[in-house]
Each structure stands twice: as C-alpha cells, then as structure tokens.
Structure 1
Amino acid sequence: MERQMPGSTPPIPYMKPDQFMAWEPGDDRFYELLDGQATVRPFNSSAHGIIAVNLCTAFQGVRHLVEMRGVMEARGPLPIPGRDSVRFPDLMIRTGIVNKGDAGSPAVAIEVLSAEDGADAMAARRQDYALCGVEQVIEVSQERACVWIYRVDGPDQWRARVVAGLDAQFILEGFGLTVRLADIYENVLDGNIMDAPADA
C-alpha cells in the first residue's frame, strides 16, 4: 500500500469521461481529461478573455446558423470518441440541433492560443477534434494579429492557411461570415504587429 506524506496532494485517479464530468477537483484550476488523466490547462490571461469575448461578438453574425440549427458555446465539454478524453474548446459551433438539449454535431472549434500551447499539443488537439467530426479549427494568437485556419482535407490531413495583420480578414467557410482581425483584437493590440511565422 502506497503511503502518502502528510500535507501532500492525493494522486488523481484514472477516470472515464462520465467520472471526470462528475469530478470535483477542489481547487480553482481548469482541467481537461487526456487519456484518463485530469490535466491542468493554463490560466487565461486578460488578453485571452478579451479575445474570446470579441470572437463571440464577431461570430454572432453567422447568418446561416439558425438554418443549420446551430449554436455557439464557450468552453463546452467535447468527449473524444474511442479515448478516455474530454476537451474544452474556447469556443465551438455545433450544428444539427433539432430539440432542446440535443448535443448536435461539432463543426468549428476555436482556440485562443496560450504560451504553453506548443505545436505538438495543438496537433494532438486538432486530431481529437477531427475524431469528433469537427471540420474547421481556428487558432488565434494572443500576441500578434495572426489567425491559423485549419480545415479537414482527408483522413488525418488538414489544409491550413494563415491570416495576419489588423487589416486582414477571413471567411468562415460554410457559414457565410467574414471576420475582421481588427474586430478580434479590439482593445488588445496597439497595431505594432509582427509578421506571421514563416513555417506556419
């Protein structure tokens, strides 16, 4: 029997998604479930919060959302099929909701990137989203006006493009919405924008 030192934090047990959703961590940290293990997500910065609100405002213009029986949700749980994992995208658009309480189908996941979100971690996140049927993933930088837009382009493949600069904009494919980066970064950036990374 493993002995626990006085005052130490007890280990978090392996959990299934339903157990995780009922779990009370007892602290103010935010967790996701990855392969049965509760994993701490970074604390949100003030810029993260402002960008998330700006994105909600910008995406309110999705004119086809009602026809597609869709909703937008913030930090809603997304169980990953075939894995003991639950992700929480910053924002998500679900479509195909017929009745109140229906989960619908996740179509677009939006992430405001943190410093801790490395390339490997985001690739794993996109892979999980694809398993759920997500067709588009939008990743938004906090530090400069730069947005990475990924769209499923075959099994385990994504077609990616980068939009950079406060004067730039992109179209959310399939939803008839043009999003301006100036709106996303309102009250966040002062216009001194770096170039997008060459390997993006």
Structure 2
Amino acid sequence: MAYRLPAATTMQMTSDDFLAWDSGDGSRYELIDGQTVVMESASEGHQIVACNLYVAMRQHLHGAPCRAILSLEVRCDDGNCLVPDVMVYCDKDKRPRGMEACPLIVEVLSRSSARDDRTRKFARYRRLAALREYLVVDWEQRATEVHRLAIDGSWQVTRYAGGEVVYLASIDLALPGDVIFADLEAAA
C-alpha cells in the first residue's frame, strides 16, 4: 500500500500513542518515523492475492501456536507501526494490535508502493527480532520474492515466477504460485 501524507498531519507520536489513537475519520493509517500516514486503498487484484495467501497460511497453521492475519499493525520500534497485507504472528500475549512476534510478513505490491515495500518498509520490518522471512508479491507480474534471514545475519533473496512453488521456511509451507495468483483473471 502506498504512503500519502495527509496535509493536516503535524503531530509526532510514539508507537504506543499510535496504537491507542483513533483518528475518528474512517481512514487507515501507519506510523512512519513518528508521523501518521494515510494508507491508500488497494486494488481488486492486490486484495485477491492477499486473501489467497491469508487463506493458505491460515489453513496451514490451523492448530499451530502461530496465526496468519490480514492487515493488522506491526510495531517495528518506538516510532514505526506498519500494516502488512498478511503476517504470521506468534504472540503468546494475544495483544489486539501492535504485533512484534512475527516470523513472516507479506507485502503485495502496488505500482505506487513497490519501491517503498522493497526498501524502506523492509528496513523497518527487519527491526523485528522474530522476523525470519519477508515475502514480496508482484501480482501484476505474477512474481514473488522471499527474503530469508541467513545464519550469518544477512538477508538472502529467492525469486519465483508464475506457477513455481514458493517455499516459506518460517512456517514450513510450500505454496504453489497457482494458489497465490488464483482468480486474478476475474480482477479488473
């Protein structure tokens, strides 16, 4: 999802302030370096892929200590709360928002957000001690990238195209590209 700073946004917040805040305007926000940022609406194709991933992960994790969830805040640090398209979290405290124990985060790209999702957002997500994989999905190109934390602390990327099987080691799931990109033909 793309970032667009609202004209009236001047207040500085901490992550804790943000998680307790209600804008009252019906918009969805992220906290970026202490500033609230409006989230733009996603396209139908973007939503189809996010839902496909969520359903597959939720079914796979049924009965496991971790859960898959759509569009909920992740507290990266004291000034950044992001909202990934899908995440897997293993929070024993069962907090309602501001998850931190996330071994897997998924961003489905939009034209307006692709650069930020691959760079700035990924840099913020890497602040999460529990993060092991970051899945980036380009629904228009039918391509995926899995960024995986290596033993030496570096991030290794594996790219997949179309119907290839994407392996997510953090949750031990082999996910066919045909499942990820199912039903896109119907999207406008």
Is TM (by shorter chain) over 0.5? yes
Residues 90 and 139 (structure 1 numbering): CA distance in 2 closer, same or farther, change over 3 Å? same
- Which amino acid in 2 is paired with 1:143? E
- Which amino acid in 1 is paired with 2:58? Q
- Structure 1 stretches of 4+ with a deviation exceeding 4 A read 99-104
Contact 1:89 1:109 in 2 (8 A): yes
1:151 alignment counterpart: 148
Contact 1:139 1:148 in 2 (8 A): yes
2:158 alignment counterpart: 161
> What is the root-mean-square deviation in Å for CA atoms of aligned residues?
2.4
1:183 alignment counterpart: 179
Task: Flag structure 1 segments of 5+ consecutive residues without an equivalent.
Answer: 1-8, 191-200
Select 2:132's aligned residue among 130, 135, 138: 135
Query: How far 1:39 moved relative to its partner?
Result: 1.2
Contact 1:62 1:176 in 2 (8 A): no
Residues 19 and 188 (structure 1 numbering): CA distance in 2 closer, same or farther, change over 3 Å? same
Query: How far 1:172 moved relative to its partner?
Result: 1.3
Task: Flag structure 2 segments of 5+ consecutive residues without an equivalent.
Answer: 1-6
1:51 alignment counterpart: 49
The CA distance in 2 between the partners of 1:79 and 1:104, in whole Å, is: 6
1:92 alignment counterpart: 87
Query: How far 1:128 moved relative to its partner?
Result: 1.5
Query: How far 1:41 moved relative to its partner?
Result: 2.3
Given the alignment of the two structures, is residue 39 of structure 1 paired with residue 37 of structure 2, yes or no?
yes
| Percent identical residues | 23
Query: How far 1:104 moved relative to its partner?
Result: 6.8
- Which amino acid in 1 is paired with 2:29? Y
Contact 1:48 1:142 in 2 (8 A): yes
1:55 counterpart SS class: helix
The CA distance in 2 between the partners of 1:185 and 1:120, in whole Å, is: 22
- Which amino acid in 2 is paired with 1:136? E
The CA distance in 2 between the partners of 1:101 and 1:22, in whole Å, is: 12
Query: How far 1:109 moved relative to its partner?
Result: 0.1
Provide the aligned length of Structure 1 versus Structure 2: 176
2:23 alignment counterpart: 25
Residues 163 and 24 (structure 1 numbering): CA distance in 2 closer, same or farther, change over 3 Å? same
The CA distance in 2 between the partners of 1:100 and 1:126, in whole Å, is: 24
- Which amino acid in 1 is paired with 2:160? V
The CA distance in 2 between the partners of 1:11 and 1:59, in whole Å, is: 36
Per the normalisation by structure 2, the TM-score is: 0.81
Query: How far 1:173 moved relative to its partner?
Result: 0.7
Query: How far 1:61 moved relative to its partner?
Result: 3.9
Q: Deviations over 1:107-134 (max 9, x none)?
A: 0001111111243552221121121121
Per the normalisation by structure 1, the TM-score is: 0.77
Given the alignment of the two structures, is residue 76 of structure 1 paired with residue 72 of structure 2, yes or no?
yes
